């Protein structure tokens, strides 16, 4: 080390109060975390930072996970890498829309014209005020800008070493342009298509949702046993269904091909009750003989199994449920709606049209009972029902036009990509694999919403006004981003919108994951030289609940676009549980927000807690752990003050001055610590690095510093004193750097007492700094054992540790005694020992005779 020891500035009373404000400002001024854009790919460590959803407040889980990423960023930066560490905000999408609706008391009505004078409402209206799409989007932008400031403030206070000049948001024009470009390129490569298909649909949000956004919830339901007359009049077939309201859309009955009860029925027809529609009885192995009566009705569509049956058995479509969740018109008697009794079917259906699912169910069940088709009592069950993860009502299946990314036909390649990722911890790869193996529909990327990236396509209208979806008009790639709902299609004039012979814009926006899956391209400015310097990214840090969404979709996009992985390493954080180890949730009301903890315990302390959570391990909020982190920070201040105080007036000590056996042994142990900590970080095991460093640090404070204390007070010309000075200096400089990723504020403070530039730009400690291969001799531990025995004797006799030892008898093997003897000077100083006697014997023991009271 070539420290300028004359420029030390150690405060009289060091304190951790105020360190955060001081160093945040200095780091900004000195551009400590600034990314060097001239760096080449091999010099760079790039991080694909998760852009948090901007829809309210940050969660303690964010603090946990982002700290883990920051630990790696800081380690890599000190190791000499140019760290590309951006921060993004995922502000487009439904969560933002919901927040805006509630926050301002508005709702979007795309049919309304833009009101340029519409201001930001001071407080939400009682009734939600309908506003135009453009006004709505403006409110979304307004609110996300405010939220992002709050988020940014929190990250900064946590000490996340982001380069804030690399900030991005997924709704920005830049992100929209990247997203639209990537879409157009996928379209050109035939990786995306639009089609009219049965789609999982949330009737409250009035949008399609994708498989990745589904969750099963156990819901109570009733089995209704319903009798169908056989088509030839020979008898009845009894089915069981939980959704009798869909009876009018029944297109077949289905049973398992091996089910002996129904062999005779396969190939025959039955008549639906009430509607008298003749439908076939078919066989399919997905029919579960154990469920209900083993024979079920297939409706278009009651659930996803209906869709599979419908597709694989080529059944007709008789859709009943509209986008608003209400029953659509059904033209009984027309070609698509055959029935043996047109009048009765029409008459009854007239009571159902326009009603909700629950209303229709009640009406149908009453009619079935009255007609005698409902057999026995309802049978209550609970069964899993598909919900949109953010929704409150079960999903319906609605046929609509959607854009899909072809994932199914690339399943094998995508599984292979998952194997190529270095997962931390390794077992998280199973989450990815089981998700990809379970895919059963292509990735639906269109949402019938407003605040998102529009599809950069328009459609021609023919002379009759019919839409030609098969030949979309594509945006000019040099003109992105575009908004087809306000920009006219290329070659058309705005006046031709909605006119026969004119055009319409695609009304939908993209799924938020369709844009955030391009985070490397967005943050890295795909198409510029920067992108080549940072891609593929080195690290994707994230939480495990978004493996199937963000991680998977990023892999898909990168595989298609670049034929590569988007990142090399995936660092997956666990859950943060509440103090009682329960999962936090809004409904339970045990969600912990980070800001109060940050203010109470300090950033270093909160980071210390987060760093103790190993990758992939669920970790409970533990304020006791935060207090220990705070204690560590204070100890770092005090021991640094003390050591630097001992080094006052000392200059030019180096590893060559380390001559004492005790000191040399300490450096050998320090070398091992450097090696262990470095290896742990290289394996993304920051928690182990912390544990080892912390253990060494406390031992250094309580044992080495005590042992070397009096020697360090000696004459600077004495080699033993110089050895102590050099050891203290080297060890302190090493420990401050090893601790810097974990407790960046206090580490920076104590480092700057004797260095001119940031510890966060200092070189990560290397074993070579400690001279040529220090060899562990065991002096430190052996002397420590004797000292411990002396302390025990004093403690047992309830004396002060300052009580002197009249005679110390150390018994043990010759080689052990020799080792202890080499550290005797420090031992007698630290232990207050007047005389030491060595006895050679097999067993190690220590006997201390204290000086009697005067």
Sign of CA dihedral 337, 341, 342, 346: negative
Specify the residue, 357 or 639, whose C-beta has the smaller distance to RNA. 639
Q: Does 788 bind RNA (CB under 7 A)?
A: yes
167, 483, 578, 706: which one contacts RNA (CB under 7 A)? 706
Stretch that binds RNA, among 50-58, 106-114, 622-630, 667-675 (CB under 7 A): 622-630
Surface-to-core class of residue 51, CB atoms within 10 Å of its CB (0-12 exposed, 13-18 middle, 19+ buried): buried
What tokens appear for 582 in the block? 């329960």
DSSP state at residue 494:
G
Q: Do 253 and 309 meet the contact criterion of CB atoms below 8 Å apart? A: no
DSSP 326: B
Among 647, 705, 712, 743, contact with RNA (rule: CB under 7 A): 705
Q: Under DSSP, is residue 203 helix (H, G, I), strand (E, B) or coil?
A: coil
Task: Give the 3-state secondary structure of residue 503.
Answer: strand
Least distance from RNA to the Cβ atom of residue 672, Å = 10
Rounded to whole angstroms, how far apart are CA atoms 700 and 711? 15
| DSSP tag of 651 | -
Is 434 a binder of RNA (CB under 7 A)?
yes
Examine residue 586 and tell whether it contacts RNA (CB under 7 A): no
- How many chain residues interact with RNA (CB under 7 A)? 60
Strands 446-447 and 509-510, bridge-based pairing: antiparallel
Q: What is the largest CA-CA distance in the chain?
A: 118
Q: Does 801 bind RNA (CB under 7 A)?
A: yes
If one asks whether residue 599 binds RNA (CB under 7 A), the answer comes out as: no
384 CB neighbour count, 10 Å cutoff: 10
Minimum distance of RNA from residue 627's CB (angstroms): 8
Tell me if 483 sits within 8 A of 124, measured CB to CB: no
Residue 190: strand pairing partners: none
Q: Do 625 and 596 contact (CB within 8 A), yes or no?
A: no
Rule CB under 7 A: is residue 614 a binding residue for RNA?
yes
794 binds RNA (CB under 7 A): yes
**Helices (DSSP H) in 717-854: which residue ranges?**
719-739, 744-752, 779-796, 814-822, 824-831
To RNA, the closest distance from the beta carbon of 17 in angstroms equals: 7
Does 219 contact RNA by CB under 7 A? no
Which is nearer to RNA, 6 or 679 (by Cβ)? 679
Contact flag: residue 587 with RNA (CB under 7 A): no
Structural contact between residues 728 and 643, judged by C-beta atoms closer than 8 angstroms: yes
Q: Does 800 bind RNA (CB under 7 A)?
A: yes
Tokens (6 digits) for 185: 């390129």
Work out how close the CB of 679 gets to RNA at its nearest, in angstroms, rounded to a whole number: 8
Both tokens assigned to 183: 């879409």
Verify binding: residue 216, RNA, rule CB under 7 A: yes
Nearest of 804, 644, 818, 600 to residue 735 by alpha carbon = 644
Interactions with RNA, residue window 532-551 (CB under 7 A): 544-545, 548
- Cβ distance to RNA smaller for residue 31 or 631: 631
Which listed residue (23, 45, 66, 435) binds RNA by CB under 7 A?
435
Query: Which of the ranges 152-160, 325-333, 366-374, 694-702 carries the binding residues for RNA, by CB under 7 A?
Result: 694-702
Q: Does 589 bind RNA (CB under 7 A)?
A: no
CA distances from residue 825 to 91, 815, 829 in whole angstroms, order as listed? 65, 18, 6
Nearer to RNA, 362 or 701 (CB): 701
Q: Taking the complex as a whole, how short is the minimal distance between the CB of residue 759 and RNA, in angstroms?
A: 19
- Classify residue 791 by burial, with Cβ atoms within 10 Å: 0-12, 13-18, 19+: middle
Task: Verify binding: residue 628, RNA, rule CB under 7 A.
Answer: yes
Q: How far is the CB of 265 from RNA (least distance, A)?
A: 27
x/- string (CB under 7 A) for RNA, residues 402-431?
-------------------------x--xx
Q: Which of residues 631-650 bind RNA (CB under 7 A)?
A: 631, 634-635, 638-639, 641-642, 645
For RNA, the closer CB: 378 or 701: 701
Interface residue with RNA among 796, 842, 852, 853 (CB under 7 A) is 796
How is 558-597 classified by DSSP, letter by letter? HHHHHSS-SEEEEEEE-PEEPTTSPBP-TTTT----HHHH
Residues binding RNA (CB under 7 A):
15-16, 211, 214-216, 384, 427, 430-431, 434-435, 437-440, 544-545, 548, 581, 583, 612, 614, 617-620, 622, 624-625, 628, 630-631, 634-635, 638-639, 641-642, 645, 688, 691, 695, 698, 701-703, 705-706, 788, 791-792, 794-796, 798-802
């Amino acid at each position: 080390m070539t420290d300028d020891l004359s420029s030390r500035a150690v405060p009289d009373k060091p304190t951790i109060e105020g360190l955060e404000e001081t160093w945040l400002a200095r780091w900004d001024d000195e551009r400590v975390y600034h990314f060097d854009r001239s760096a080449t790919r091999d010099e760079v460590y790039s991080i694909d930072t998760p852009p948090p959803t901007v829809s309210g407040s940050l969660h303690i889980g964010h603090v946990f996970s982002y700290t883990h990423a920051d630990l790696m960023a800081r380690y890599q930066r000190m190791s000499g890498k140019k760290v590309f560490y951006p921060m993004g905000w995922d502000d487009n999408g439904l969560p933002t829309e919901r927040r805006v609706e509630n926050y301002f008391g508005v709702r979007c009505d795309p049919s309304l014209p833009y009101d340029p004078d519409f201001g930001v409402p001071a407080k939400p209206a009682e009734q939600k005020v309908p506003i135009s799409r453009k006004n709505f989007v403006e409110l979304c932008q307004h609110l996300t800008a405010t939220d992002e400031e709050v988020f940014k403030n929190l990250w900064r206070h946590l000490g996340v070493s982001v380069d804030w000049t690399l900030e991005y948001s997924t709704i920005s024009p830049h992100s929209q342009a990247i997203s639209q470009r990537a879409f157009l390129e996928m379209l050109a490569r035939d990786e995306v298509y639009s089609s009219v298909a049965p789609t999982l649909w949330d009737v409250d949000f009035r949008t399609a949702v994708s498989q990745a956004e589904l969750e099963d919830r156990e819901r109570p339901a009733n089995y209704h046993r319903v009798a169908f007359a056989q088509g030839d009049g020979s008898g009845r077939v009894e089915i069981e269904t939980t959704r009798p309201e869909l009876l009018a859309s029944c297109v077949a009955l289905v049973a398992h091909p091996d089910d002996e009860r129904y062999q005779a029925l396969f190939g025959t027809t039955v008549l639906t009750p009430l509607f008298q529609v003749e439908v076939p009885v078919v066989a399919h192995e997905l029919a579960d003989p154990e469920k209900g009566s083993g024979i079920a009705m297939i409706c278009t569509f009651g659930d996803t199994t209906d869709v599979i049956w419908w597709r694989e058995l080529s059944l007709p479509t008789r859709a009943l449920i509209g986008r608003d969740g209400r029953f659509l018109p059904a033209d009984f008697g027309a070609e698509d709606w055959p029935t043996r009794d047109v009048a009765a079917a029409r008459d009854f259906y007239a009571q159902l049209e326009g009603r909700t699912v629950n209303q229709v169910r009640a009406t149908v069940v009453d009619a079935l009972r009255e007609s005698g088709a409902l057999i026995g009592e309802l049978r209550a069950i609970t069964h899993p029902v598909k919900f949109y993860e953010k929704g409150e009502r079960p999903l319906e299946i609605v046929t609509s036009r959607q854009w899909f990314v072809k994932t199914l036909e690339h399943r094998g390649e995508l599984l292979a990509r998952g194997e190529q990722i270095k997962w931390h911890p390794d077992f998280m790869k199973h989450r990815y694999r089981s998700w990809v193996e379970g895919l059963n529909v292509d990735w639906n990327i269109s949402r019938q919403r407003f605040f998102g990236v529009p599809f950069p396509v328009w459609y021609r209208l023919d002379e009759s006004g019919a839409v030609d979806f098969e030949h979309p008009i594509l945006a000019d790639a040099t003109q992105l981003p575009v908004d087809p709902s306000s920009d006219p299609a290329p070659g058309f004039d705005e006046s031709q919108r909605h006119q026969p012979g004119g055009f319409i814009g695609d009304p939908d926006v993209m799924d938020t994951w369709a844009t955030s899956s391009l985070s490397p391209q967005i943050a890295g400015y795909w198409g510029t030289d920067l992108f080549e310097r940072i891609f593929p990214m080195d690290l994707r840090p994230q939480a495990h609940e978004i493996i199937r969404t963000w991680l998977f979709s990023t892999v898909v996009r990168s595989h298609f676009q670049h034929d590569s992985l988007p990142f090399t390493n995936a660092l997956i954080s666990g859950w943060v549980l509440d103090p009682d180890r329960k999962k936090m949730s809004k409904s339970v009301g045990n969600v912990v927000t980070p800001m109060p903890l940050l203010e109470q315990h300090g950033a270093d302390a909160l980071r210390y807690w987060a760093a103790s959570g190993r990758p992939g391990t669920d970790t409970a909020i533990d304020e006791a752990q935060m207090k220990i982190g705070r204690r560590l920070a204070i100890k770092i201040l005090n021991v640094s003050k003390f050591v630097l105080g001992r080094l006052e007036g000392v200059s030019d000590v180096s590893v060559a001055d380390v001559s004492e056996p005790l000191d040399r042994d300490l450096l050998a142990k320090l070398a091992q610590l450097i090696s262990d900590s470095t290896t742990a970080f290289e394996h993304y095991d920051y928690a182990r690095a912390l544990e080892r460093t912390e253990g060494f640090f406390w031992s250094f404070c309580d044992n080495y510093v005590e042992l070397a204390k009096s020697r360090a007070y000696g004459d600077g010309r004495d080699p033993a004193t110089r050895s102590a000075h050099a050891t203290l200096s080297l060890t302190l400089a090493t420990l401050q750097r090893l601790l810097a990723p974990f407790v960046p504020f206090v580490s920076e403070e104590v480092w700057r007492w004797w260095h001119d530039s940031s510890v966060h730009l200092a070189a990560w400690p290397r074993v070579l700094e400690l001279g040529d291969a220090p060899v562990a001799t065991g002096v430190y531990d052996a002397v420590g054992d004797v000292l411990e025995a002396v302390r025990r004797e004093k403690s047992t006799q309830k004396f002060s540790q300052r009580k002197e030892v009249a005679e110390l008898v150390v018994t043990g093997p010759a080689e052990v005694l020799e080792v202890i003897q080499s550290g005797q000077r420090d031992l007698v100083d630290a232990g207050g020992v007047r005389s030491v006697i060595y006895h050679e014997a097999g067993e190690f023991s220590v006997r201390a005779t204290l000086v009697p009271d005067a």
